[in-house]
Chain A
Amino acid sequence: MKKVLVILLLATLGYYVAGTYFDIGFGQPHFIKGLLPVKDIYLAQTVKSLKVSNAVTSIVVNFRGFDTLGEVTVLFLAVTALGSILYKKMNVLGERSVLFSSSSIVTSGSKLLFPAIILLGFYVFIHGHLSPGGGFQGGVIIASGFLLMLLAYENYSVSHTALSVVESLAGITFAGVGLLGFMHGGTFLQNFLPTGVLNHLFSGGIIPIIYIAVGFKVGAELTGVIYTVLHEKGESNG
């Protein structure tokens, strides 16, 4: 009975939500006739004055830079909340909740792959303003490398101090670069560095600096999450 009611409710909801989108139309220009769509303004600004190749990066870091600072703060808060919810006395630290033995193929393979994965992560967030990718994606790739190591080796450990130092330094870099915009007579997160040449590594002003900081921050935070959850022992009553 409950399932039938839920399906009826969701069908009604889905009918109206989908109907709205069917009216908009897929791939159709949905803006007021005669006016320039907002995406064209963003794209023209991106290529002309900012000299950033990846328009998504320029929107995330430049046009919506303050929003990204908030996003990074939300991620930080989520990690902090995870740590405080799963907090326990120090007696179980170092004990893994998931215990298994990995074969020698997995251990030696992951030892080979780990530097390559970390290198790919660095590449993705350093080139965030040139190619698809960016700070968040690169950070996730770095965290996946640490996940591989944590799965392959039973007593592989990541220093919590190092993680929090990297995370704090990256956060300070982001906020500090934003504050430097004030000193150049502008607003918070103003682009004050020379923008350079389009499609070159040193272009886009402060965007690469901020995205590198975001990459380190996201990588450290996600590694912290993985480490915290893997060392959570579910048996005892807390």
Chain B
Amino acid sequence: MDNTLFGYLNYAVYGTAVLVILIGLYGTMVKKSLLKVVIGLSVSDSGLNLLIVAIGYYKGGTAPIFSPGFLENFKSVSKMVDPVPQALVLTAIVIGFGVTAVALALVIRLYRHHGTLNIDEIKNLKW
């Protein structure tokens, strides 16, 4: 940590990402409406993506694209941020979309069957 501002950024970025994950998990655990549970899942998914992308950042790094401008100005590839977490997040976004789509389909199906979205009123879920 050579300057203090960057040190605070450490807490700001990771803290925000973890906070978004926790907000999503809170919604999933506390809310009664099934739609809000699905929204909570989606929010915590976004937070995780933010966290994974943040790990790949290197101080002063540029986007991992070998544009003509980059090739002229920089000689070393170590001036780039890590592309591996970005590729993993691309996968994670697609999987998150699949999860959300199937969860919403199940919610629609439950609503069709029970006529309500409140999990307290859907008795079949309890054993």
Residues of A within 8 A of B (CB): 2-3, 6-7, 10-11, 13-14, 17-18, 21-22, 24-30, 37-40, 42-44, 46-47, 52-56, 58-60, 64, 67-68, 71, 74-75, 77-79, 81-82, 85-86, 131-132, 134, 136, 198-199, 218, 225, 229, 232, 234, 236-238
Contacts and interface: CB of A to CB of B under 8 A. Distances in A.
A75 B102 contact: no
B108 A86 contact: yes
Chain B, interface size: which category?
A: 35 or more
B64 A78 contact: no
Contacts, number: 159
Interface of B: 1, 6, 9-11, 13-15, 17-19, 21-22, 25-26, 29-30, 51, 54-61, 63-68, 71, 77-78, 80-84, 86-87, 90-91, 93-95, 97-99, 101-102, 104-106, 108-109, 111-113, 115
A198 B72 CA distance: 13
B30 A225 contact: no
B83 A42 contact: yes
Nearest to A46: B66
A26 B10 CA distance: 5
Q: Can you list the 9 inter-chain pairs with the closest CB atoms, starting with the nearest? A: A78-B98, A27-B59, A55-B64, A43-B77, A26-B10, A55-B83, A59-B87, A21-B14, A39-B82
Nearest to A51: B66
